[in-house]
Structure formats: structure tokens, C-alpha cells
Amino acid sequence: MSALLEISHLRVEVPTRHARLVALDDVSLSIRPGEIMGLIGESGAGKSMLGASVTGLLPSPARIAAGEIRLEGERIDNLPPAAMRHLRGARIGAIFQDPMTTLDPLFTIGEQLMETLRAHRPLSRAEARAEALRWLVEVGIPAPEPRLESYPHEFSGGMRQRIVIALALCAGPRLVIADEPTTALDVSVQAQIIALLRRLAREKGTAILLVTHDMGVIAEACDRVAVLYAGRLAEVGPVGALTQRPRHPYAAGLMASIPPVDRRLPQLPQIEGAMPRLAAIPAGCAFHPRCARALPHCTAERPPLMPGESQAACWEPIEHVHG
């Protein structure tokens, strides 16, 4: 199946008075229709920057300096702002961490859904209202008809996030960028939101890029996972392979830091040190100062993604014995 989203050799730079910082460095990813791709890494790894690059919402002064982003074969990273705004609603949906940054407190939920629908589809007001109601049912809002007249502050956090998902999906986008969509929610609501995203991906063939730092969400929701470190891809692969048999030492460190459910540990393993600042990314593999497996050439030459069950950007990837 051909890729719905294709990111090729993406480089995002942030010019400053003293230097040109590289926020994303030669990142290549693809997502197929109906697939949920997880994107994980520590704060500052470049996860949100990648999502913002795809949606055309990079914060100033960051800019795409090299590479291409294609949606269903069409290049979108060089579109003028007006064309990108139309694309965002019609073909790319966005779900953000805080629903209140997406929802307008002065308008009812029904008005906001209807406005979004009519901006991208030739619907009468009555048709848009019926479609808005259908979407509230779709995302599991109880007693949906009277809730069309409610304002955002009259909903709980979990219900607001469901409405944001309805807003992101109601125009029928082919791709959804979900940036930490479950962070502010309790565990039971998280599970419902994940189940909703999975169902919509399967039933509608929507591709979803799910940006998160929560490995539980990744394991529950995703088909494949990409690990970012210092703006570079550390590992990409199927969710089972990457969570159970990570090949990059950084990915292995992330997985080892998750508390096991079947036993108590006196102390969780941790990765020594901290991710480098953008102004101080080391030569060679960016992870080598924190890596117990680092060899002399790791400090000099940046590794490509090595083939395997999952692809790891490591000169000496961890090999697992099967069986």
C-alpha cells in the first residue's frame, strides 16, 4: 500500500543571533492509510516540531530548510499560507493537548462544528447541523442533541477532547496529527480516546501521527513507532518489535524506564545525563555521550538507519536472540 504521508530528509532550522540551530535533522518517515504512527522522545526531541512542519504551523522563526513533505503524492511543504489553511481543515486534521486552545469559548459546540463543516463542504445550515449531531454521536457525547447548544466550558476535559476530535475529523481529512491528545485526561478517558482514534483509523482509512511521551498510549494505540532524539530518528519499527526488542540503546533505555506490572523493582533503570541542547549537539551519533555501548567511531560519524526488525540509527545495534 502506498504511503499517504511521506516525509523525506526533512530539516528544520531555527535562526538565532549567534547560530542556525537544527531542530529536525534529516528526518524521513511514511504513514500508510489507516495506520497509526507513534512519535516518542524526551521533551525537546523535536516531536511537536515535526507535527507542526506537516500542518504548516511551525512557530516563527523556525523554518523548513530542506527536504519534502508529500500528502497523497502532492508536495505540501512549499504551499502558500492560504492554500495550507484550506488543506489543514479539508485534508489534514489537528488534535492538540489542550482542547481550550482549539475551542472558541464564545460559540456553542454546534456552531463551531457547523462552521468547520460548511467551510470545507457544500452543506446547507440544516445539513451541517445534522452532520454535526452525527459527529457528536460518533465521538461518544451523551445526549448529543441538547449538547449542540452548549459552550466549551460546560463540558468536562474528556468531553472537550472528544469534541476537538470531532472538529478535526468532521471534514473528512486523510491525515490527523494528534499532539499529546490524552495527556491531560485520566486513564479511563485516555483509553476511550485511544479506542476512538483506532476505530476511526480502521473504519475511515485515516492516517494518524500520534505525538506522545506516554509509552502506554504508544503500546495501546500504534501500529508503528518512531523514536526521536535531538531532532534525529533513533529507531523506527513495528510497535511490538520496538517496545519488546528495541535495537537502539536510547530506545532500549526508554523501554527499560517503564515500571513492570508483574514485579516491583527497587529502582528503575535510567539513562545517565541529558539530551543535548540544540546549540551543543555532539559530532557523530548525538546519543554517544550517554551511551554505554559507544565505540570510537560513534563520536565521529553519524550512523544511518540500519535495516532489521526495526531500523536503528546505531553502528552497533542491540541484536536480540529469538526463540
Q: What confidence tens digit (pLDDT) does each residue in 212-264 have? A: 888 888 888 999 999 999 999 999 999 999 999 999 999 999 888 777 667 77
Residue 83, φ and ψ in degrees, nearest 5? -65, -35
Q: In angstroms, rounded to a whole number, what is the distance separating the alpha carbons of residues 275 and 295?
A: 19
pLDDT tens digits, 177-194: 998 888 767 788 788 888
Residue 14, φ and ψ in degrees, nearest 5? -125, 100
Nearest alpha carbon to residue 201 among 227, 173, 180: 173
Backbone dihedral region of 261: left (phi > 0), alpha (psi from -120 to 50 degrees) or beta? alpha
CA distances in angstroms from 225 to 30, 148, 149, 213, listed in the order given:
11, 36, 39, 12
Beta strands in 41-157 (DSSP E): 63-71, 74-75, 92-95
CA distances in angstroms from 314 to 102, 272, 274, 283, listed in the order given:
39, 18, 19, 14
Structural contact between residues 311 and 241, judged by C-beta atoms closer than 8 angstroms: no
Give the pLDDT score at 183.
74
The low-confidence residues of the chain, meaning pLDDT below 70, are 1, 184, 260-261, 321-323
Please identify which residue in the block is written with the cell numbers 504551523.
Answer: 57
**17 CB-contact burial (10 Å; exposed 0-12 / middle 13-18 / buried 19+):** exposed
Predicted model pTM: 0.91
Give the pLDDT score at 61.
93
